[in-house]
Amino acid sequence: MNPFEFTTPASTEEACASLKEYGSTARIIAGGTDLLIELRRDSSKGPKVLVDISRIPALHQIRVSEGTLSIGPLVTHSELQFSGAVQRSASLLSAAAAAVGAPQIRNRGTIGGNIMNAATCADTVPPLIALGAVVVLKSSRGTRDVGLGDLFLKPYQTKAQPDEILTEIKFPGLPADAGAAFVKLGRRNALSISRLSVAAVIQRDSQNRIADARIVPGAAFPTWQRITPAEQMLVGEQPSDALFEAAGRKVSEEMIRCSGRRWSTEYKEPVLAVLVRRALMQCVSPAIQTGRSHDGSDGRSGAQATTVTFRSHHRYCTLSVIVNGRSRTATVPTNRTLLALLREDLGLTGTKCGCEIGECGACTVLLDGQPVNSCLVLAPQVHGRSVTTVEGLTREGKLHPLQLSFMENDAAHCGFCTPGMLMSAKALIDENPAPTETDIRTAISGNLCRCTGYKQIVQAIQTAGDGSASP
């Protein structure tokens, strides 16, 4: 990554002032899960300054007022996944958030980043368009509302001006009797980029006829849109497999009409039709389950709503961070990652460096108790926060029960994945001391192991969780 200046506004007004000052040479950073990969990949186009909005509490809220949900751009995918308010009023958005990456990515990646990155595979955008979302863009010139469907120019490009910041995403919650679904096709269950996805909503009248239908495919069109010809086929009809199959075929026809026939059409045409049919069937079936929920209207974590103020308009910064319970201070370049800070500046080499693109999980640490990929966190962003690494598991020379259990169950072979596995497992056990196998496999879905086949790792975590590991 090229060096850059780094600024941390404490309010949206300060953020707008920074964007006005630096114009197109500035980039906004929040979770950073997409941006850091981009900056590493193409350092020649690096920004002059990063504007870190992650410490603006007003942007990190979920509110419900008179049936309208208002979501701040800093709300993470994990928070969307587990928010009781989102599960109740926009279950398809919750389901889409749960389908993003793996726990480490969901704990850092934000809904605002998913929208403004404008990748056609963005999982939260089809549900938001189906929900009729409007986004609020703010600059020092004022604010404006833009329908989300009108925000995008083409893949990776929005109509937002360089001095504008996304401050809110708002939409009416779905009625309690509406059915909603999000289905995604990827190459694997976790850490998967959508090959195709479909968000759908169906509302039926008292005679079981479809009164309202919304269908929005993802990764199928250059930008997202409701497919009204298919929606119109459904309205006034009784739900049926044949009807939904026909609607699926219609969506595929529209895709071909819009994009033409390409090399991938032979595959996408039938598969998109099937996904639409499945999504519509789910809409008229029992509600989507997204796991545990956290009641209350705001997000799950208040971690980023910290009162710590950190300023650096230079290419170096001096930061303080609690690492394994001990206060540490370091002066580092602003383009240092948390992974490099730990390994190179603080000498904590237990955390491993693998892919550096958020896919292997070897670099997993706990940031304020949540597992994150330290290769995708900038060091300046952890100023004033608490980090736990694998070295922090040991207490007074005694191994943690998880470490003992990994030894007893032969869960470490080459050992390269083990620190990351242990940290993901620690986060799980701290929250859920008696996890099921499914809980464990979900918790470690962002950690790849090339040696063990995972069986012993799952067993080790289960054994440590039920307290049967040696003290």
- Binding interface with ligand FES (CB under 6 A): 353-356, 358-363, 373, 375, 412-418, 449-452
- In the complex, least distance from residue 413 CB atom to ligand FES, rounded to whole angstroms: 4
CA quadruple 214, 218, 221, 222: dihedral sign: positive
Q: Which is nearer to ligand FES, 40 or 413 (CB)?
A: 413
Q: Which two tokens stand for residue 111?
A: 């809904």
Segment (H or E) for 64: strand 62-65
Q: Which is nearer to ligand FES, 243 or 407 (CB)?
A: 407
- In the complex, least distance from residue 414 CB atom to ligand FES, rounded to whole angstroms: 3
SS3 76: strand
Do the Cβ atoms of 226 and 129 come closer than 8 Å?
yes
**Other Cβ atoms closer than 10 A to 401:** 20
Segment (H or E) for 319: strand 316-323
**Other Cβ atoms closer than 10 A to 471:** 7
CA distance 30 to 4: 16
Q: Which is nearer to ligand FES, 311 or 455 (CB)?
A: 455
Q: Which is nearer to ligand FES, 51 or 363 (CB)?
A: 363
- In the complex, least distance from residue 223 CB atom to ligand FES, rounded to whole angstroms: 30
- In the complex, least distance from residue 117 CB atom to ligand FES, rounded to whole angstroms: 18
Q: Which is nearer to ligand FES, 98 or 339 (CB)?
A: 339
Amino acid at 193: I
Q: Which is nearer to ligand FES, 271 or 355 (CB)?
A: 355
Q: Which is nearer to ligand FES, 49 or 412 (CB)?
A: 412
Q: Which is nearer to ligand FES, 51 or 425 (CB)?
A: 425
Please state the length of the chain: 471
- In the complex, least distance from residue 347 CB atom to ligand FES, rounded to whole angstroms: 18
- In the complex, least distance from residue 440 CB atom to ligand FES, rounded to whole angstroms: 15
Q: Which is nearer to ligand FES, 290 or 462 (CB)?
A: 462
- In the complex, least distance from residue 248 CB atom to ligand FES, rounded to whole angstroms: 36
Q: Is 159 exposed, middle or buried (0-12, 13-18, 19+ CB in 10 A)?
A: exposed
- In the complex, least distance from residue 135 CB atom to ligand FES, rounded to whole angstroms: 30
Nearest to 358 by CA among 385, 338, 382, 381: 338
Query: Going by C-beta distance under 8 Å and a sequence separation of 6 or more, which residues neighbour residue 286?
Result: none
| C-alpha dist (Å) from residue 99 to 190, 198, 409, 454 | 7, 12, 30, 21
- In the complex, least distance from residue 357 CB atom to ligand FES, rounded to whole angstroms: 7
Do the Cβ atoms of 54 and 304 come closer than 8 Å?
yes
- In the complex, least distance from residue 288 CB atom to ligand FES, rounded to whole angstroms: 28
Q: Which is nearer to ligand FES, 178 or 411 (CB)?
A: 411
Query: Going by C-beta distance under 8 Å and a sequence separation of 6 or more, which residues neighbour residue 190?
Result: 101, 102, 442, 445, 446
SS3 267: helix
324 torsion bin: left (phi>0), alpha (psi -120 to 50), beta (else): left
70 strand-pairing partners: 63, 170
> In this structure, which long-range contacts are made by residues 391-400, counting pairs with CB atoms below 8 Å and at least 24 apart in sequence?
391/324, 391/348, 391/350, 392/323, 392/324, 392/325, 393/422, 393/426, 398/471, 400/426
